[in-house]
Amino acid sequence: MKKIKVGIVGCGTIGSALAQAIHKKFKSSASLVCFCEHHGEKAFRLMKRLGVKIPVVSFQRLIQKSDLVIEAASASISGRIAAESLRRDKEVLILSVGGLLLNRNWIRAASRSRGRLWLPSGAVAGIDGILGAREGGLRRVKLVTRKPPQGLKGAPYFNQKKFPELSGNKAVCVFKGNARQAIRAFPQNINVAALLSLAGLGAEKTQVEIWTSAALRRNQHEITAEGDFGKITTVAENVPSPGNPKTSFLAVLSATALLKKIFSRVRMGT
């Protein structure tokens, strides 16, 4: 069987883990053909770890050379990568889902494409239920995210607003609004809000609250949804990944599981 040629944009925490999975776990189905990385040294470190030599190219060249494009870089570029990959009829897996709310050219490209856009569930549980519920009478979707301060610091939201003073176990609500506002304010920290809104009621109708506390050690995402089906409540308590406190370890595992789904003949879940 012909192997699927994979290109990865972003050789950080998630990109490196997926490169490793493709090189070891999924080597009978796929092979790495190129990387795109702002910081070349990260791509070379990854190649050394894998024991391979792979060209580092622009994202446009990467899309040309790959059957499956994986974006694990930034919300500032993910919309362009999705749109360009779909225009070229490629399969594309986007991690920076928030970018798909900021640049929406991919919607038109998807409607004309023979390629496919894949979005992992990431660090939340319950996307399968929301997708089912959307098929009939989904009325309310809310996400409450609780993160340690280091999982939120550096977000554009705090360019204008002071980061709250934290003391003891007290939890502070730093943001309340809809998913579109949440993504603008926290483009690298709240991809789950983007995915939840794309899977459910859309970015304007999905309510988001973000809380922080010095006592938190885990990233927690609580989803509640109501509709004709009844009510869903899910809570995921995520260990931050060792490489990046903003990225939950479950998000890395979820993307690996989605790769398995792409390469497999048996597909589970909605």
Contact between 155 and 189 under an 8 Å Cβ cutoff? The reply is: yes
Residues contacting ligand NAD: total by CB under 6 A: 29
Q: How many of the other CB atoms lie within 10 Å of CB of 112?
A: 10
Q: Report the residue from 29, 103, 105, 244 that binds ligand NAD according to the rule CB under 6 A.
A: 244
Stretch that binds ligand NAD, among 165-173, 206-214, 218-226, 240-248 (CB under 6 A): 240-248
Helix or strand (DSSP H, E) at 234 = strand 230-238
Burial group, residue 116, by CB count within 10 angstroms (0-12, 13-18, 19+): middle
**Position with the least CB separation from ligand NAD:** 12
Q: Report the residue from 27, 38, 48, 231 that binds ligand NAD according to the rule CB under 6 A.
A: 38
Q: Does 197 bind ligand NAD (CB under 6 A)?
A: no
Contact between 50 and 77 under an 8 Å Cβ cutoff? The reply is: no
Q: Does 81 bind ligand NAD (CB under 6 A)?
A: no
Stretch that binds ligand NAD, among 26-34, 90-98, 129-137, 151-159 (CB under 6 A): 90-98
Q: Report the residue from 66, 85, 113, 188 that binds ligand NAD according to the rule CB under 6 A.
A: 188
Q: Which has the closest alpha carbon to 197: 141, 249, 133?
A: 141
Contact between 255 and 184 under an 8 Å Cβ cutoff? The reply is: no
Q: Report the residue from 15, 129, 151, 240 that binds ligand NAD according to the rule CB under 6 A.
A: 15
Burial group, residue 63, by CB count within 10 angstroms (0-12, 13-18, 19+): buried
Stretch that binds ligand NAD, among 25-33, 35-43, 126-134, 203-211 (CB under 6 A): 35-43
Catalytic site includes residue 221: yes
Distance from the first to the final alpha carbon of the chain = 27
Q: What sections of 51-113 are H helices per DSSP?
A: 59-65, 75-87, 99-102, 105-112
Q: Does 251 bind ligand NAD (CB under 6 A)?
A: yes
Q: Does 74 bind ligand NAD (CB under 6 A)?
A: yes
List active site positions.
Answer: 221
Return residues touching ligand NAD (CB under 6 A).
9-15, 36-39, 42, 72-75, 77, 95-97, 120, 122-123, 188, 191, 243-244, 247, 251
